[in-house]
Amino acid sequence: MSKLLDDVVGELTRLPGIGRRTAFRLAMYMLRMERDEVRRMTAAMDDFRQNIMYCKFCNNLSDTDVCPICLDERRDRTTVCVVEQVGDVVSIENTRQYKGLYHVLGGVISPMQGIGPSDLKIDLLLENIGRGEIREVILAVSATVEGETTQFYIMRRLEGLLEGVAGEINITCIARGIGFGDELEYADELTIAHAIHNRTKMK
Amino acid sequence: MSKLLDDVVGELTRLPGIGRRTAFRLAMYMLRMERDEVRRMTAAMDDFRQNIMYCKFCNNLSDTDVCPICLDERRDRTTVCVVEQVGDVVSIENTRQYKGLYHVLGGVISPMQGIGPSDLKIDLLLENIGRGEIREVILAVSATVEGETTQFYIMRRLEGLLEGVAGEINITCIARGIGFGDELEYADELTIAHAIHNRTKMK
């Protein structure tokens, strides 16, 4: 009917999880927003897409070519936490438990989706470690088949690298087990088996 | 962390049904879109918000001051279907069963939300009917308390108007009853009582 309406609905449905009904509802909501509010929103979207960068050290999203975490002198520069994606950095930062650096792989190895090791920022990770400051590499990828594969691949690459690096470097993996709030009844066998095998002593 | 990311997430959460998690997911998705694709999407949003108009006759959304339906000479100009909102026009048009004109009220009377008769385009409706071409007014508002109140109010106003208009004008209301696919078990008493009372003869 209205080309303007059709266009905005069509464009919004490109986004994941937004069908025609939701897109229409969003368009109707935009009519109740001030014109300037809508302009501010679209400007933020454009700005983000046009100007966001990836940190040249850790591959995290950044407004500058080196991200604030890599620049922060108060952070522990001897530890690097390897994660799949930007969202994982946010999740870990929110815990306020970790003070080291990050390394964002940009995905996991997934032959099904055609993602191989060369599509991930693994060389950059080895390059950073090769600089010699890192003493611990924490692998914090998902406990999925793809995550485990990626972890295994990185381990192999690291082993090769570590022979040529001075001093010891620990490689650790975040704990696997029963999540807080999870019921044992619904946990899978592999998780339970691992959780029993890796039980920790109570004080 | 990244101001660009923070901004786009903050702006997107203004939209209904979009929390921080979804906004973040949308932002990440935008990174996988081409820059031009994002620009086309934001341009469509801006264009829509800045340039959309309301038809001066029927109050439907329109790219021009009179909408294509009101301009369409092939439509039945003696019938007007009164609906709450723009989405209802789309729903009825999709049935391809109706060939008359529309009138979009822009809401329903709702004292709880502070919406009175003067907030709706009721005067414009009476003005259109007063022009003398309309022979049937179909009331197609929701079967809610607010919808019924609005319907009752419009009926009262129409009665006053019709005394001064030449020729007969029918006022009808869309059928209430059990929707197709609805189970009787879950229908409320009022709907069932109405459906029995207004039973139709089978051929």
Say whether residue A96 is in contact with chain B using an 8 A CB cutoff: no
For B155-185, write each residue's pLDDT tens digit.
999 988 877 666 788 999 998 888 888 888 8
Q: Which residue has the tokens 């459906």?
A: B195
DSSP, collapsed to helix, strand or coil, labels residue B86 as helix
Cβ atoms B105, B84 nearer than 8 A:
yes
A41·B12 Cβ contact <8 A: yes
Nearest alpha-carbon partner for A106 in A95, A117, A114, A97: A117
For B49-89, write each residue's pLDDT tens digit.
999 999 999 999 999 999 999 999 999 999 999 999 999 99
Is it the case that residue A183 has pLDDT exceeding 90? no
Cβ atoms B85, B140 nearer than 8 A:
no
Task: Using an 8 Å CB-CB cutoff, list chain A residues near B86.
Answer: 5, 28
- Distance CA(B20)–CA(B9), nearest Å, equals 6
- Distance CA(B201)–CA(B60), nearest Å, equals 36
Say whether residue B79 is in contact with chain A using an 8 A CB cutoff: no
The pTM for the full model equals 0.82
Nearest CA in chain B to A1: B68
For A72-89, write each residue's pLDDT tens digit.
999 999 999 999 999 999
Q: Are strands A53-54 and A61-62 parallel, antiparallel or unpaired?
A: antiparallel
Q: Could you report the predicted ipTM of this complex, rounded to two decimals?
A: 0.83
Q: For B178, which DSSP code?
A: P
- Distance CA(A147)–CA(A138), nearest Å, equals 14
Tokens of B134: 């309309």
- Distance CA(A44)–CA(B30), nearest Å, equals 12
Say whether residue A51 is in contact with chain B using an 8 A CB cutoff: yes
Q: Which residue has the tokens 């069908």?
A: A19
Task: Using an 8 Å CB-CB cutoff, list chain B residues near A7.
Answer: 44, 47-48
AA identity, residue A95: T
Q: Write b or e for each residue in A102-129: b if 16 or more Cβ atoms lie within 10 A of its Cβ, otherwise e.
A: bbbbbbbbbeeeebeeeebbbebbeebb
* pLDDT value of residue A166: 65
Q: For A115, which DSSP code?
A: B
Best of A36, A42, A70 to disrupt the B interface (most B CBs within 10 Å) is: A42
Best of A41, A47, A102 to disrupt the B interface (most B CBs within 10 Å) is: A41
Q: How far is B127 from chain A (nearest CA, A)?
A: 24
AA identity, residue A61: L
Say whether residue B40 is in contact with chain A using an 8 A CB cutoff: yes
A31·B8 Cβ contact <8 A: no
A44·B11 Cβ contact <8 A: yes
Tokens of B33: 């879109």
For residues A186-198, give the mean pLDDT: 87
Residues 6 or more apart from B137 whose CB is under 8 A from it? B79, B80, B82, B129, B158, B169, B170, B171, B172
DSSP per residue, B120-153: STHHHHHHHHHTS---EEEE---SSHHHHHHHHH
Residues 6 or more apart from B196 whose CB is under 8 A from it? none
